[in-house]
Amino acid sequence: MRCFRTTPALAAVLVTTFATAALAACSKGPVTAAASPPPPVSAGSSPSSTPSPARTHPFTGAPGAADGPVLAVKIDNTRSAKPQLGLRSADIVYVEQVEGGLSRIMAVFSSKLPSRVGPVRSARISDLHLLPQFGRPAFAYSGVQSKMKPYVAQAPLLDVSQDRSNTGYTRTGPHAAPYNLYGTPQQLLARAPGASRAGDIGFRFGPAPDGGKAVPSFTARYPAATLKFTWSPGEKRWLLTQDGRADRAGEGGRVGGATIVIQRAHTTRSQFHDFLGNYTPLVQTVGTGGATVLRDGKAYDARWSRPSEKDGTTFTTASGAPMTFATGQVWVVLVNDGKPTTP
């Protein structure tokens, strides 16, 4: 028998011929290509058609809210200034003790801006310890003690006070000065084009944690003021009554929030005082301490922790789990960690 060499081209033809013959012999019908199986889905993955979770605002937990630049505004919180205007649009409302055992508000705006806010009043040293967690926010106020001006100048903020410019401010309304100064947030932010946008400051939002005690109301006390928060099932938020009077908003409705944090922090005497000689309290918001968190008609025992002024404040339950807040406006009421005191 005569042998011959197989070339690569001939080998390819032979393979094709034999494969075709085999398929024809084994199949009684037309040959069709088998469909490729879908790629396996790895554990924890989801089909591409599944929508990603909605992004929520870091200050309120509201889905889809714009993380706008941060504007903090000092607002009077005495009877002479009521009703305050624009407070219901704030994302966070801080309440701080000031001279004479009274309180003053620092309202923080980002997700939405009211057309007007006020009455705008002067800043305090505790503000400068709270603001660094927001990066470099715009800060609106109506004045500051001369001894405190160097501290404001060195603080990581954009000063949009009335002292620097009247742009964004107007005097109006039924009250006499100094309770008639109001700010226009859009104009104030226009003066601070580099203001930091909203970011994580430690708040966590979600379903209520286990535990909690059902309470119809809770009262926070200062030496010369009381803030009582009463749960409204209809509005699903806590409504404020201050010094025995229902606190109404200048834009309509009641003042209050979905989550109220009564944060107990050591309150000491600062180096500053008013013209009557009353010393300005300094609230120690860096460190750790206890808190009561109100949400969904319940009160929760909690702990707070803030490692440094550049960090936000985290809140945990008695078991150490994250203390989740209800979606919506958050009030942080800073009271002394013992009995109400005038330092």
Mean pLDDT per 10-residue interval, the chain, length 343 residues: 39 36 37 39 42 81 93 97 97 97 97 97 97 98 94 97 97 94 98 97 97 97 98 98 97 97 97 87 97 98 98 96 98 96 91
Instruction: State the CB neighbour count (10 A cutoff) for residue 341.
Output: 17
Q: How far apart are CA 197 and CA 183, in angstroms?
A: 20
| Amino acid, single-letter form, for residue 267 | T
Tokens coding 239 = 């409504």
Cα pseudo-dihedral 77, 82, 85, 88, rounded to 10: 70
Q: How far apart are CA 260 and CA 236, in angstroms?
A: 12
Asked, for residue 325, whether it belongs to a domain, the answer is: yes
Structure confidence at residue 66 (pLDDT): 84
Q: Is 278 a member of any domain?
A: yes
Residue 45, classed as helix, strand or coil, is coil
The strand pairing partners of 332, in sequence order, are 94, 261
Token representation of residue 213: 């005690």
- Asked if residue 221 is part of any domain, the answer here is yes
Alpha helix stretches (DSSP H) within the chain: 8-26, 125-130, 149-154, 185-190
Residues found in the chain: 343
Scan for tokens 């009557």, then name that residue.
Answer: 276
Q: Where are the beta strands (DSSP E) in the chain?
A: 71-76, 92-97, 103-109, 138-140, 158-159, 169-171, 181-183, 213-214, 217-222, 225-232, 237-242, 245-246, 256-257, 259-265, 267-273, 279-283, 287-295, 298-306, 314-317, 330-336
- pLDDT value of position 12: 38
Q: Which two tokens stand for residue 220?
A: 């926070």
Alpha carbon distance 40, 98 (integer Å)? 63
Which two three-digit tokens encode residue 329? 């406006």
Distance CA 329, CA 256 (A): 8
Q: Report the alpha-carbon distance of residue 92 to residue 45 in Å, rounded.
A: 36
Q: Is residue 214 part of a domain?
A: yes
Which helix (DSSP H) or strand (DSSP E) does residue 315 occupy? Answer: strand 314-317
For the beta carbon of residue 3, count every other beta carbon within 10 angstroms: 4
Q: Given 3-state DSSP classes, what are the helix, strand and coil percentages for the chain, each rounded to the nearest 5?
A: 15, 35, 50
Range of the domain at 280: 71-336
CB 260 within 8 A of CB 294: yes
pLDDT of residue 108: 98
Per the domain annotation, does 290 fall within a domain?
yes
**Distance of alpha carbon 298 from alpha carbon 203, whole angstroms:** 18
13 in any annotated domain: no
> What does the pLDDT read at residue 53?
60
Q: Specify the 3-state DSSP secondary structure of 310.
A: coil
The CATH number assigned to the domain holding 199 equals: 3.50.90.10
Give the residue among 119, 120, 123 at the shortest CA–CA distance from 82: 119
Spatial separation of the C-alpha atoms in residues 189 and 267, rounded to whole Å? 32
Domain count, the chain: 1
Check: CB of residue 192 under 8 Å from CB of residue 160: yes
- Tell me whether residue 5 is in a domain: no
In this prediction the pTM is 0.84
- Confidence (pLDDT) at 52: 52
| Rounded-to-integer distance, Cα 325 and Cα 331, Å | 11
> Which residue in this structure is represented by tokens 């922090």?
265
Residue 40 lies in a domain: no
pLDDT for 217 equals 98
Other Cβ atoms within 10 Å of 212 Cβ, number? 17
pLDDT value, residue 277: 84
Tokens matching residue 253 = 């409705």
